[in-house]
Structure 1
Amino acid sequence: MSNIVKLNEEIKFGGNNPFVLISGPCMIESEELVFQTASAIQEITSKLNIPFVFKASFDKANRSSIYSDRGPGIEKGLEILAKVKETFGVPVTSDIHDASQAELAGEVLDIIQIPAFLCRQTDLLVAAAKTGKIINVKKGQFLAPWDMKNVVVKLKESGCEQILLTERGSTFGYNNLVVDMRSLPTMRELGAPVVFDATHSVQIPGGNGTSTGGKREFVPYLSRAAMAVGVDALFAEVHPDPDKALSDGPNMIKLHELEEVLKPIKAIDDIIKG
């Protein structure tokens, strides 16, 4: 069983605690979109009694094309996320791509996320650890789950004990990802609560040429499978109109469908955790 990572009295990751939903649009497209999405998710999770952390990226530094929209940047993005915290009373998370961003991000974010492609970057992990915040590291698409032990050691040696590990699929040939459900208990054995990233796991990286494709219709199936194996949190990006989203639209859940997606997931989690 994993260690328990406590964000606050209501939100605890690991042990036998109910799963936490980490959710929001892939990218901060506008303050209006962020508020619309945060409000809707909060209403749904309150109704279903699911702990909720809001997520949106202030900078998508790993876009397929140099011409793709990257978001508002760190200063404006953190300003919007701070407003979400204040308005809705929910914790917030976002990802950093450079060690220089860690200190500023740590002033606002409750959880700092490390992107999968950067999960082995020592300087980035050390800088994130020094913020004193919970650090959520996405397992690289190129890594075996047991290799995340080195990531955990880097963070612990840098003073961080509040660690989450995220499964988001593994590269399988060209432009394809698969999820090995064995990785979930394997990473949990490293002592860190495990998050299943349901929406990035259905990506088709670079599948649309200058952007990433995806198969959002498989999100509910993979989410239910992960819950049956046993995870501590579900990462699921949502959007009011994914087909018009500026980032990761093909794999995001439609906002109006989120409640029905979550109902069986919560039922499975309740059964698994008693």
Structure 2
Amino acid sequence: MIESLQMTREVQVGNFTIGGNKRFALIAGPCAIESEEMSIEVAKKIKEICDKLGINYIFKSSFDKANRSSIHSFRGVGMEEGLRILKKVKEEVGVPVITDVHEPWQCEKVAEIVDMLQIPAFLCRQTDLIIAAGKTGLPVNVKKGQFLAPWDMKNVVTKMQEIGNEKVLLCERGNIFGYNNFVVDMRGLLEMRKFGVPVVFDATHSVQIPGGLSSCSGGERKYVFPLMKAALSIGVDAIFAEVHPDPDTAPCDGPNMLYLDDLEKVLTTAVKLDDIAKGL
């Protein structure tokens, strides 16, 4: 028996909604905030592409990348400066913004600026963090832990619901398979859709090689687009992708980030696949 795609609830982000069998939204930007100038440049270019293709867009970049391989790894510009830059992007480019939070005390402060909070995969079982994020009333994108089965994310949804926040999205980013290796089980996208919440596919972290460069993570950029196409063919509500003007010089996650100049071609195909999968 062939089952139809599970419908997900719609979650309001800024002036649009994600889910409900609508065209996928794009969550994209550099891994970490490097500067105001670069953040605005990337956000403007991606918004221009998304407007052309009819894709709702959320700018993503992190003020702190706390889960680093080495103590010497680049982490970002810090919360105060990062939030200032995210606010500038939001006002000047006119797009919603999202960033990571790592500790409960950060949530309320960050929620004053952003439109959506993101919980890193390593922290998806941290109850106090989930509750603090949910209590802001904002949508929360929770990345599935590399160590969890997709059905285990039901507990995350329940935690959010228990505090009265139904605006949760679940993000697939692959499972650790042996040493320094991620594998994406596409069945997990369908399993998490059963909870009725929007499901996001993280196309760039799914090709990461954690610790693969000894003191930092490696990645296989060549697999980003094939995995993205597979996820869209199955059916997702949003695509997460880290994008950079020159990934090879990026201070973090360069090997798995997409080139900004390649994004329009990638998204043009993505829209066609999404339309077929959802019958749009």
Q: Please give the range of the TM-score, normalised by the shorter of the 2 chains.
A: over 0.9
One-letter amino acid matched to 1:6: Q
Moved more, 260-269 or 137-146: 260-269
The alpha carbon displacement at 1:6 in A equals 1.8
In the alignment, what sits opposite 2:119?
114
Q: Is residue 139 of structure 1 aligned with residue 110 of structure 2?
A: no
Aligned residues: 273
**Partner Cα distance (2:74, 2:229) in 1:** 32
**Partner Cα distance (1:43, 1:2) in 2:** 28
In the alignment, what sits opposite 1:105?
110
Equivalent residues in 2 for 1:140-219, closer than 5 Å: 140-219=145-224
One-letter amino acid matched to 2:11: V
| 69, 87, 91: which one aligns with 1:86 | 91
3-state secondary structure, aligned to 2:276 = helix
Equivalent residues of 2:8, 2:21 under 8 A apart: no
The alpha carbon displacement at 1:193 in A equals 0.4
One-letter amino acid matched to 1:211: C
TM-score normalised to structure 2 length: 0.96
The alpha carbon displacement at 1:108 in A equals 0.7
One-letter amino acid matched to 2:76: G
The alpha carbon displacement at 1:191 in A equals 1.5
| 9, 12, 25: which one aligns with 1:6 | 12
The alpha carbon displacement at 1:273 in A equals 1.5
The alpha carbon displacement at 1:4 in A equals 1.2
One-letter amino acid matched to 2:10: I
| 7, 12, 16: which one aligns with 2:21 | 16
**Partner Cα distance (1:264, 1:53) in 2:** 19
Equivalent residues of 2:64, 2:79 under 8 A apart: yes
The alpha carbon displacement at 1:39 in A equals 1.1
Q: Is residue 247 of structure 1 aligned with residue 247 of structure 2?
A: no
The alpha carbon displacement at 1:13 in A equals 1.2
In the alignment, what sits opposite 1:221?
226
Equivalent residues in 2 for 1:23-102, closer than 5 Å: 23-102=28-107
Gaps of 5+ in 2: 1-6
3-state secondary structure, aligned to 1:237 = strand
3-state secondary structure, aligned to 1:71 = coil
Gaps of 5+ in 1: none
One-letter amino acid matched to 1:83: K
One-letter amino acid matched to 1:207: G
**Partner Cα distance (1:204, 1:158) in 2:** 36
The alpha carbon displacement at 1:15 in A equals 1.4
In the alignment, what sits opposite 1:124?
129
**Partner Cα distance (1:272, 1:201) in 2:** 21
**Partner Cα distance (1:111, 1:56) in 2:** 12
3-state secondary structure, aligned to 2:27 = strand
3-state secondary structure, aligned to 1:94 = strand
**Partner Cα distance (2:53, 2:18) in 1:** 18
**Partner Cα distance (1:218, 1:120) in 2:** 28
Seq. identity, %? 61
CA RMSD of aligned residues (A): 0.8
3-state secondary structure, aligned to 1:225 = helix
3-state secondary structure, aligned to 1:12 = strand
One-letter amino acid matched to 2:69: S
Change (3 A) 1:28 1:8: closer
The alpha carbon displacement at 1:8 in A equals 4.1
The alpha carbon displacement at 1:7 in A equals 1.8
**Partner Cα distance (2:240, 2:258) in 1:** 11
3-state secondary structure, aligned to 2:214 = coil
In the alignment, what sits opposite 1:261?
266
**Partner Cα distance (1:151, 1:16) in 2:** 22
